[in-house]
Amino acid sequence: MNLAEFFHMGGYAFYVWTAYALAVIVLALNIVVPLRRKSALLERLARSVKQSNKRP
Amino acid sequence: MWLFFHKLASPKHFYRIAGKLIPWLGGLTLILFLAGLYLGLIVAPPDYQQGESYRIMFVHVPSAWMSLFIYVFMAALSAIGLIWNIKLADVMASSSAALGAWFTFLALATGSLWGKPMWGAWWVWDARLTSELILLFLYLGYIALVSAIEDKRTAARAGGVLILVGVVNIPIIHYSVEWWNTLHQGPTVTRLDKPSIHLSMLLPLLIMALAFQLYYFTVVLMRARVEVLERERRSGWVQELFPDGSLERADVMHQQHSSPVDLP
């Protein structure tokens, strides 16, 4: 099987690759969202601890 | 054993143990995905009826299975949260909802992309598709309900009741292809006698299903961990994660070397 044939998917290229692309986007998005939430939360917490340490 | 679960259910230990598990689960998920994609897209032969289009199955079927699994798992967690008042169960349930909704969306969207070339229609109102659409609305309803209630405890109770009532939909989805004369094909893997699918297609399907399963556990732990930290932000152990307000040790109290930027 050559590469062009592989991407052609026997004429179903649009359906097959759209389905896989959607899956990849959704799975990647769900990894990124909690990571960003986490780094935002960690920064916020660190800042609030710093502030409460300043005024004992 | 009981003691272990008790310890695990305490937010501090959950935060630590989940932090240790996530990189391993994530790595294993990635390996399974690569193996499943290789076997499914390259090794498996084309179907004698559907040609290459059947390869959509390797993302469609695991998504659909996960949409059901997560719902049942959430129902069990909600029951535990309602009966024994365990906060961690509420956290895990609410962290699962978005993932469940996304998997349901994926099952519907990839199913639509498979239906168009095979049935000639993007959508038909048959029992399987309609009941799966109702599942999506149940997830979205849960998310809306839980986020609308300020008090976390009340939100978890209300959401838990909604999820438990909606459980009736699960057997309807599963048996819809047998009870009604649907356009959707019948089960090929979970048949009791012998799966009517060749091993070269069954193997990548099962590997992908396992990859989706582990992906769910990886991401739900990531989400639950952030949620626990957020809820417990005023308690001593969280404050201790930030000695003199630096991020240095916050995420890595259990790891030898890691930078705060490169969080697992």
Are B62 and B178 part of one and the same domain? Answer: yes
pLDDT value for A55: 60
Domain count, chain A: 1
Residue B164 maps to a domain: yes
Q: Provide the number of CB pairs (under 8 Å) joining chain A to chain B.
A: 105
Q: Which residue of A has its CA nearest to B101?
A: A26
Are B132 and B172 part of one and the same domain? Answer: yes
Are B258 and B202 part of one and the same domain? Answer: no
Per-residue pLDDT tens over the stretch B35-89: 999 998 888 888 888 888 889 999 999 999 999 999 999 999 999 999 988 889 9
Residue A6 maps to a domain: no
Residue A5 maps to a domain: no
| Contact by Cβ (8 Å): A16, A9 | yes
Are B29 and B114 part of one and the same domain? Answer: yes
Domain count, chain B: 2
Question: Which residue of B41, B43, B226, B238 to mutate against A (max A Cβ within 10 Å)?
Answer: B226
Cα gap B80→B83, rounded to integer Å: 5
Count of helix runs (H) and strand runs (E) in chain A: 2, 0
Question: Which residue of A6, A48, A49, A52 to mutate against B (max B Cβ within 10 Å)?
Answer: A49
**Alpha helices (runs of H) in B39-120, residue ranges in sequence order:** 57-84, 87-119
Does residue B181 have a pLDDT over 80? no
Q: Which residue of A has its CA nearest to B97?
A: A30
Which residues in chain B are contacts of A23 at CB distance < 8 A? 59, 63, 106, 110
Structure tokens at A52: 């409460």
Does residue B253 have a pLDDT over 60? no
Are B155 and B264 part of one and the same domain? Answer: no
Residue B74 maps to a domain: yes
Which residues in chain A are contacts of B56 at CB distance < 8 A? 15-16, 19-20
Model confidence at B226, in pLDDT bands (50, 70, 90)? very high
Residue B4 maps to a domain: no
Contact B244 A53 (CB under 8 A): yes
Are B169 and B244 part of one and the same domain? Answer: no
Q: Which residue of A has its CA nearest to B225?
A: A38
> Which of B174-178, B207-211, B223-227 has the weakest average pLDDT?
B174-178
Per-residue pLDDT tens over the stretch A36-55: 999 999 888 888 877 777 76
Q: Roughly what angle, to the nearest 10 degrees, separates helices B127-148 and B57-84?
A: 40
Cα torsion angle, B115, B116, B117, B120, sign: positive
Residue A45 maps to a domain: yes
Q: Which domain holds residue B262?
A: 234-264
Q: Identify each DSSP E strand in chain B by its residue range.
A: none
Residue B76 maps to a domain: yes
Does residue B193 have a pLDDT over 50? yes
Are B164 and B256 part of one and the same domain? Answer: no
Q: Roughly what angle, to the nearest 10 degrees, separates helices B169-179 and B127-148?
A: 170
Residue A24 maps to a domain: yes
Residue A10 maps to a domain: no
Q: Which domain holds residue A42?
A: 17-54
Chain B nearest C-alpha distance from A29 (Å): 10
Residue B7 maps to a domain: no
Per-residue pLDDT tens over the stretch B85-144: 888 999 999 999 999 999 999 999 999 999 888 888 888 888 889 999 999 999 999 999
Does residue A32 have a pLDDT over 50? yes
Residue B9 maps to a domain: no
Residue B3 maps to a domain: no
pLDDT value for B43: 86
Residue A46 maps to a domain: yes
Interface contact A21, partner B, CB < 8 A? no
Are B151 and B247 part of one and the same domain? Answer: no
Q: Is A35 exposed, middle or buried (0-12, 13-18, 19+ CB in 10 A)?
A: middle
**Residue B105, CB half-sphere, CA atoms under 13 Å: how many?**
13
| Contact by Cβ (8 Å): B128, B60 | no
Question: Which residue of A5, A7, A8, A15 to mutate against B (max B Cβ within 10 Å)?
Answer: A15
Nearest CA to B205 among B15, B76, B57? B57
| Contact by Cβ (8 Å): B52, A9 | yes
ipTM of the complex: 0.88
Residue A42 maps to a domain: yes
pLDDT value for B237: 82
Chain CA centroid to CA B182, Å: 26
Of all residues in chain B, the percent with pLDDT exceeding 90 is: 52
Q: Roughly what angle, to the nearest 10 degrees, separates helices B87-119 and B57-84?
A: 160
Does residue B264 have a pLDDT over 50? no
Are B200 and B246 part of one and the same domain? Answer: no
DSSP class of B41 = I
Contact B244 A15 (CB under 8 A): no
Are B104 and B144 part of one and the same domain? Answer: yes
Interface contact A45, partner B, CB < 8 A? yes
Neighbours of B236 (CB within 10 A): 8
Residue A32 maps to a domain: yes
Report the SS3 class of residue B110. helix
Question: What H or E segment, with its residue span, contains residue B223?
Answer: helix B199-231
Cα gap B237→A15, rounded to integer Å: 50
Mean pLDDT of all residues in B195-200 = 76
CATH (domain of B29): 1.20.120
Which residues in chain B are contacts of A45 at CB distance < 8 A? 229, 233, 238, 241-242, 250
Are B58 and B128 part of one and the same domain? Answer: yes
